[in-house]
Amino acid sequence: MNVLTSRVRSRSVLSGLVIAVLFSISTFANATMLRVTVTNNAQANGLAFTPLYTAFHGASFDAFDVGGTASAGLEALAELGQAMPIAGERLTVDPSSLGGVIFPDAGMRPLFGGESGSLDINITDPASNMFFTFLSMILPSNDTFFGRDDAIQLFDAAGNYLGDRVIAVTGADLWDAGTEALDVDAAPFIPGNTATDSPADTSTSIRAAESLAAFAGLTLANGRVLDASLIDFLSNPDAFDVATITIEEITAEVSAPSAIALFALAIAGIAVRRKA
């Protein structure tokens, strides 16, 4: 009787282990490793932009709405290129969301014309982080940024990846945050300016970006002189090539937690057979 009871208990414990392992496997089955790459498509004397802020999140996070008012986080990004404040806002409303900043391959600085940078990120819970948001400040400007009013969906409700994406960022994706009036002397990325100066804007709503022609001819912090012919995005916004963002799945291998779970399942199976 004691031997039989011991066997029953052992099998119960092992059955519990199997259930736990299967749960672990199901949790990580849809984990997807993505590589996000951004390229500044401007020519050498064209516009630069700050390191790209990226976020993978659920429906509760909304970075901005055209016609609305910028949050403090968006203001910090649009005026100074700071990503931490809006990342904090995202985590407040969506604690399970993920984010990152993409610097150029050349180092921790803005992306100049022709430069690219990449970020690899493991989306362990795609069903909860099905949307993609990107934001960056245009340099030079006072509060011009680019992004999409509506987040881009990368996964379905079950966490299935919907496929690689190529996002063409154009002049139609440039926005005025409505937080600072155009003032050449208060814009960052221009030597001698005090970037923290913030002259009030007469309109506080987020709207289509206004002309940056006032910055033409200025020598920027990277030593390049801004060419007026390379910054006119108003004549034909859809044809003005700002950047390309690609999102691609870079591995279909079993994630580390799943591999551990599979190993544990195999051990459990062996143990069950030995006890039988």
Secondary structure (DSSP) of 152-169: EE-B-TT--B---EEEEE
Least confident range from 76-80, 111-115, 250-254: namely 250-254
Report CA 191 to chain centroid distance, whole Å: 29
Model confidence at 267, pLDDT cuts 50, 70, 90, reads very low
- Output the pLDDT for position 192: 96
CA nearest neighbour of 94 among 49, 125, 120? 125
- Output the pLDDT for position 3: 46
Where are the alpha helices (H) located in 2-71, listed in sequence order?
A: 2-28
In tens, the pLDDT along 80-92 reads 999 999 999 999 9
- Output the pLDDT for position 251: 75
- Output the pLDDT for position 19: 41
- Output the pLDDT for position 67: 98
Residue 41 to residue 146: CA distance in whole angstroms: 14
Which of residues 4 and 48 earns the better pLDDT score?
48
pTM exceeds 0.85 for this model: no
- Output the pLDDT for position 17: 41
Q: Where are the beta strands (DSSP E) in 71-223?
A: 98-102, 116-123, 131-139, 144-147, 152-153, 165-170, 174-176, 207-208
Q: If residue 43 lies in a helix (H) or strand (E), which one and from where to where? A: none
DSSP code, position 70: -
- Output the pLDDT for position 13: 42
